[in-house]
Chains A and B, each alone.
Chain A
Amino acid sequence: MLYHPTLKFTVFALGLLGLGGIAQAQDAVNLRMTIWSANEAHLKLFNDIAAGFKKEHPNVTVAYESLPFDTYTTALTTQIAGGNAPDMAWIFETSAYDFVKSGALYPLTDTLKAAKGYNLEEVSAGATERWTQDGALYAYPFSTSPFAMFVNNDVIKAAGAKTPAEMIASGDWTWENAIATASAVGKSGKGGLVVRDFNYQNWQYLTSVWNGWGASPWSEEGKTCSMADKPMADALSFIHDAIFTKKAMPGPGEMVDFFAGDAAMTITQISRASLLPKDKPFSWDLVPLPKGPAGEYALIGQAGIGVMQSGKNAKTAAEFVAYMTNPENSAKLSQFFPSARKSLLNAEVLKKTNPLLSQEQIEKVVINGIATGKVMPGHSGFAQIQQMVRSNLDAIWRPQADVPGTLQNICGQIGPLLKR
């Protein structure tokens, strides 16, 4: 519990018992992990892993609790506020800083290193950076999924435009040309390019575009706003132009679903390949993100598993996380959640788990993406910053807009929050 002294004391006392008493090891332990997937195939795999753990630890039972994706972090913090924190929780990369810095998580490094055959060293430092504080890993990034461009060649050819594959072959796969193709399709009545999940609200997904300009919402260490800097202003002006002048991207309030065959291209994580239609298939392709004025780039989205410090079985929970993410289980997980383990980052392994992708796609998009990609931006207090930027950006999402002025405004508002 949070602040009730008696309960806090009880938890403390139980913690002491847990350290001192071996007898307790025989007691039944029920662990609960909150997740944002309710997918059957995912749950089946997770339950298999839990069953495997139970073979070694007969007294431990793991249950998964699916919370709705949209309100996941809110629901999780509500549980914590009510004193009902789960033992383990999935954490979005955007809210990673909040969790890691707050002290709410149990440090995992020792447990992971102690686990047999775990080989934590093969997980790259770039992948664990966001989840680490003062040398200790507070959540394990079990999913490292690159963003890429899905392409509907049928729609593009029908509009008489150049396909990304053709542009890649001729070496001019740039944002300028990508938008030209999208614009041609957009004017033909279909949707052009969709940045999936953006919906004019979740602006952080635009990172997949503006990284091509070398733009970022705030400085590396997170203290100063860089939204008003030239790269960001250029990138957003480009996007604004693509939406309102070139009609290359669906405007606000226009619903276009790439996977229903209604758009030329979409930027999303490669795991969404499973959404490609099976009954009315179209000729699709998967290509890396186009080159921007600042050169080639890649972007990855991450998800971590953390153990809540407040749970009375934190140690056991950490052991379960070690089991769930050991090399063997990571290989199983990687069919849905690409792993950052080097031993799993080869075309052979990935081909097995991503049967829809070709050898070339895997090498160019997945392996290269994970190796070179930057992680989506995040910050402590992200929810509030996100909301503040979102409500101000609305001023940009109309035909006549003052992009630089709006960005100045945003920096004025989020500046104080960033410094905190």
Chain B
Amino acid sequence: MAVAHQHHETPKAGTPPPFWTIARRDSLAGFLFIAPQLIGIITFVLVPLGLVFWYSLHEWNVLANTFTFTGSQNYRMVLEDTNLLEVLGATTIFSVGLVVLNLSLALLLAVLLNQKLAGIAVFRALFFSPVVVSLVAWTIVWGFLLQKNGGINGMLLMVGIEGPNWLREDVTAMISVIVVQVFKNVGLNMILFLAALQGVPKELYEAARIDGAPAFKQFRRITLPLISPTILLTSIITIVGSLQVFAQIAVLTQGGPGLSTTVLVYYLYQQAFQFDYFGYGSTLSILLFVIVAVLTFAQWQMRKRIVFYEN
């Protein structure tokens, strides 16, 4: 990745080589350039993470003002927590559903919006618009629309369908929180894909067309491989993001019905902030962090196999 090639400033005969060689100067410059970011990460990410780990070894009763070292007790609780299995199941369904739906919709929209059509700019802006609407407002509005007698069912009724009670049944509640989140944020991935599509050299399609390859084949053989790095990037961002979805759940379903939409982040929020089990909540935080880290690492490792590089 680094392109800083050594220059050949041969020291003149008789003078000792200067201490500040190009390499040394570069090292210093490198450290200075990254210093603000690195110090920020240490202060605002690593130290807090360390503190969270420290809390996870304690039983912390906020109201009674006690903070007792309990060692691995909270970690044993993770293994014994009967709800956790259900929570992890919900988390998996939510994340997988979100990533699949988000990426395929984003790609579809990007391909559509990459066409040369009059007024395409307006469509791009409209598809992107939910991204700029405040998350809270967006979720509240969808909360209205998804009620039993809300807007969605009102529209369905116009075409003669009696809609389900979206937020109150296990399956539809999960679908609802996924879909609301996808519509909110798919615009970001759509733009990233659009940018990637515009980076695909047009000559490649020309050549394929001369060879008589049909459109879908062009897409599979040319487009997909060339934008695969973007697919990797967006899928990492989307998976990581999906594990952090909180406000939507809090507003729409509060984790219900039952525990069917209680994802890990919401569960840890409940434990730490609502039930005041800060120690156990911290332990779940560490669990969440490990899951995210492992997933990202695995994806990163897989990139060589699935991502096509031009060179």
Contact = CB atoms under 8 A, between A and B. Distances in A.
B168 A253 contact: yes
A357 to B, nearest CB: 32
A219 B148 CA distance: 36
A81 B278 contact: yes
A391 B259 CA distance: 6
Interface string A41-75: 00000000000000000000000000000000110
B256 A394 contact: yes
A78 B281 CA distance: 13
Contacts of B187: none
A74 B281 CA distance: 14
B275 A381 contact: yes
Contacts of B32: none
Interface in A259-277: none
Interface residues of A, number: 32
B273 to A, nearest CB: 5
Residue from A103, A104, A253 whose CB has the most chain B CB atoms within 10 Å: A253
Given A255-B147, A255-B150, A395 B258 contact: yes
A99 B275 CA distance: 13
B134 interface: no
A394 B258 contact: yes
Interface in A382-396: 383-384, 387, 390-392, 394-395
A200 B147 CA distance: 13
Given A390-B256, A391-B258, A394-B258, A252 B148 contact: yes
B166 interface: yes
A118 interface: no
B65 A383 contact: no
Contacts of A251: 148, 165
A391 B273 CA distance: 18
Contacts of A2: 60, 62, 65, 67
B64 A104 contact: yes
A98 interface: yes
A104 B65 contact: yes
A254 B149 contact: yes
B114 to A, nearest CB: 40
Contacts of B150: 253, 255
Nearest to A70: B250
A387 B148 CA distance: 23
A204 to B, nearest CB: 15
Given A3-B67, A392-B258, A395-B258, A252 B165 contact: yes
B165 A384 contact: no
B257 A394 contact: yes
B221 to A, nearest CB: 47
B252 to A, nearest CB: 11
A394 B261 CA distance: 13
A74 B273 contact: yes
B64 A383 contact: no
A310 B278 contact: no
A122 B47 CA distance: 54
Contacts of A398: 168-169
Given A3-B67, A253-B149, 12 more contacts: A2-B65, A73-B274, A74-B273, A102-B64, A251-B165, A252-B168, A253-B148, A253-B165, A253-B167, A254-B147, A397-B168, A398-B169
